[in-house]
């Protein structure tokens, strides 16, 4: 489930990103306990060391903090930090690829912007119909 | 302290060298995948670790002792393969009942649970089981024995896809409850990929690669695009595999030593960059020529 084997990203990075999504969605609030390494290993059917590596990425970025003997908890600033990180890394990357593909297909700037507006409408509609 | 410590290990059978000057160590409580082509020396290596065979040269230490004829090693080790010899006069139920007296950490509840789950019946005899059922039973013995060193030599031979999946999940779940050193040999790397800590790849009896499985994913990249662009990139990296596609297009699997910016630049130049699946990578690394089977047909 969930994991994309064909992705260039290592499994532990994908687990870290999944955890970030859980925090971003508000599924795990700040100061709430996050999944343990064994829980993650069970969910994704991966080696616990791989799961621990995913957790450590977030801990290294101070998005999680450790309580001795209790496990890892979500930092208070985690949501905001994840959001700005995602804009900086993912969104900008996606836009770059989008522009490159448009250029390859000879799609002009105005057409591209119109497509973006149409896509935004679609996403809003899907969101409201749910 | 390492559980297995080999240095310069060599084993020959007559004129063939099965294992050649192999040195590596296995740390405790990790799952290591032993991968290699048919005849690469996997089984010979495992049998030396288990103490079934004596090496011709080099040294091998298991739990810091020579495993050959060693009571400490055999008491703490279980070796699961196709040819497990079990008493022919006992039925499966009786074998399970008596297994506890051989293994100090035997988990009878787990054994019975798996036994029922895999639809085995206590009245059956080991020699009368189908290939897949026999593998399943052997695997149950290997898991429930909970030995500090657990060796599975191609445990899934004959198992169907569902049973293989269940077995690997059972192995992972039991490993989390009771961590131990596991060596798992297989040629279906994609199936075991996710549950491994480390990978040991051998080719012609020699070590080809020994690294954490997480790093393997970044070890190589596949580049596909115009021949000149790809060839230019490949000049700086070690090429493991190449294949011509169409008129001017080529696919190459190369060692990933590129910076993210270089890959980004290539992507914008129209080179498709894809990960190399772990089992493809192992196939390329253990291949004898870079073009693979196509070379045989392209000879004329």
The per-residue pLDDT for range B264-282, each reduced to its tens digit, is: 888 888 888 888 888 888 8
- DSSP secondary structure code for residue B65 in this structure: B
Enclosing H/E stretch for B61: strand B57-62
- Pick from B224, B222, B220, B225: which is nearest to B209 by CA? B220
Give residue A2's pLDDT: 66
Give residue B25's pLDDT: 95
pTM of the model: 0.82
For A86-104, the pLDDT digits (tens) are 898 889 989 988 998 898 8
- Pick from A36, A39, A26: which is nearest to A67 by CA? A36
Contact A111, A119 (CB under 8 A): no
- DSSP secondary structure code for residue B62 in this structure: E
Mean per-residue pLDDT over chain B, rounded: 90
Quick one: pLDDT band at residue B77, thresholds 50, 70, 90? very high
Contact A35, A72 (CB under 8 A): no
Among chain B residues, CA nearest to A100: B268
Indicate the SS3 state at residue B34. strand
Q: What is the mean pLDDT of residues B127-149?
A: 94
Contact B271, B233 (CB under 8 A): yes
Distance from CA of A18 to the nearest CA of B (A): 16
Distance from CA of B197 to the nearest CA of A (A): 7
For B181-218, the pLDDT digits (tens) are 999 998 788 888 889 999 999 999 999 999 998 888 78
- B199 φ/ψ angles, rounded to the nearest 5 degrees: -125, 135
- DSSP secondary structure code for residue B193 in this structure: G
Chain B CB contacts of A38 below 8 Å = 176
Among chain B residues, CA nearest to A48: B176
Non-local (6+) Cβ contacts of B15 within 8 A are: none
Quick one: pLDDT band at residue B98, thresholds 50, 70, 90? very high
Distance from CA of A7 to the nearest CA of B (A): 6
Among chain A residues, CA nearest to B177: A38
Strands laid side by side in the B16-26 sheet: B16-26, B4-13, B57-62
Chain B CB contacts of A99 below 8 Å = none
As a whole number of angstroms, the distance between CA B177 and CA B166 comes to 17
Contact B105, B145 (CB under 8 A): yes
For B221-261, the pLDDT digits (tens) are 888 988 888 888 888 788 888 888 887 888 988 888 888 88
Cβ contact, residue pair B277, A48, below 8 Å: no
Give residue B55's pLDDT: 95
The B-side interface with A (CB below 8 A) comprises 30-31, 168-169, 172-173, 175-176, 190, 193-197, 213-214, 217-218, 221, 267-268, 270, 273-275, 277
Least confident of A8-12, A74-78, B17-21, B44-48: A8-12
Cβ contact, residue pair B30, A49, below 8 Å: yes
Which of B190, B194, B268 minimises the CB distance to A46? B194
Residues 28-87, chain A, touching B (beta carbon < 8 A) = 38, 41-42, 44-50, 53
Q: Which residue has the tokens 């955890």?
A: A19
Chain B CB contacts of A104 below 8 Å = 270
pLDDT in 10s for each residue of chain A, 130 residues = 567 766 667 888 899 999 999 999 889 988 999 999 999 999 998 999 999 999 999 999 999 999 888 889 999 999 999 999 889 888 998 998 899 889 889 999 999 999 999 999 998 887 776 5
Give residue B232's pLDDT: 84
């Amino acid at each position: 489930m969930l994991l994309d084997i064909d992705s260039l990203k290592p499994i532990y990075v994908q687990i870290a990103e999944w955890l970030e999504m859980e925090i971003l969605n508000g599924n795990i609030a700040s100061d709430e306990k996050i999944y343990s390494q064994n829980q993650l290993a069970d969910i994704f059917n991966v080696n616990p060391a791989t799961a621990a590596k995913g957790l450590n990425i977030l801990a290294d970025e101070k998005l999680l903090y450790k309580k001795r003997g209790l496990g890892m908890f979500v930092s208070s600033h985690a949501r905001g930090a994840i959001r700005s990180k995602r804009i900086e890394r993912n969104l900008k990357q996606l836009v770059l690829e989008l522009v490159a593909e448009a250029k390859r297909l000879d799609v002009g700037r105005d057409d591209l912007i119109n497509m973006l507006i149409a896509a935004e409408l679609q996403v809003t509609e899907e969101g409201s119909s749910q | 302290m390492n559980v297995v410590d080999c240095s310069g290990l060599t084993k020959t059978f007559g004129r063939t060298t099965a294992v050649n000057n192999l040195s590596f160590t296995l740390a405790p409580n990790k799952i290591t995948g032993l991968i290699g082509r048919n005849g690469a020396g996997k089984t010979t290596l495992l049998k030396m670790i288990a103490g079934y065979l004596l090496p011709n040269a080099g040294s091998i230490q298991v739990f810091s002792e020579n495993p050959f004829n060693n009571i400490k090693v055999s008491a703490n080790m279980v070796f699961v393969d196709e040819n497990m010899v079990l008493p022919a006069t006992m039925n499966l139920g009786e074998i399970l009942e008596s297994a506890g007296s051989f293994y100090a950490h035997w988990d009878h509840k787990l054994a019975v649970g798996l036994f029922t789950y895999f639809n085995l019946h206590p009245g059956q005899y080991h020699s009368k089981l189908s290939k897949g059922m026999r593998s399943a039973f052997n695997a149950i013995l290997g898991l429930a024995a909970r030995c500090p060193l657990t060796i599975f030599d191609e445990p899934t031979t004959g198992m169907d896809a569902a049973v293989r999946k269940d077995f690997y999940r059972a192995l992972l779940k039991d490993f989390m409850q009771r961590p131990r050193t596991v060596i798992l040999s297989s040629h279906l790397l994609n199936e075991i990929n996710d549950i491994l800590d480390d990978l040991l790849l051998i080719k012609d009896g020699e070590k080809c690669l020994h690294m954490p499985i997480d790093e393997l994913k970044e070890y190589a990249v596949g580049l596909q695009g115009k021949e000149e662009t790809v060839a230019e990139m490949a000049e700086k990296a070690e090429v493991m595999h190449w294949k011509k596609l169409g008129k001017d297009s080529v696919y190459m699997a190369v060692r990933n030593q590129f910076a993210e910016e270089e890959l980004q630049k290539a992507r914008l130049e129209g080179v498709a960059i894809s990960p190399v699946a772990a089992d493809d990578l192992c196939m390329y690394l253990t291949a004898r020529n870079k073009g693979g089977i196509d070379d045989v047909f392209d000879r004329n």
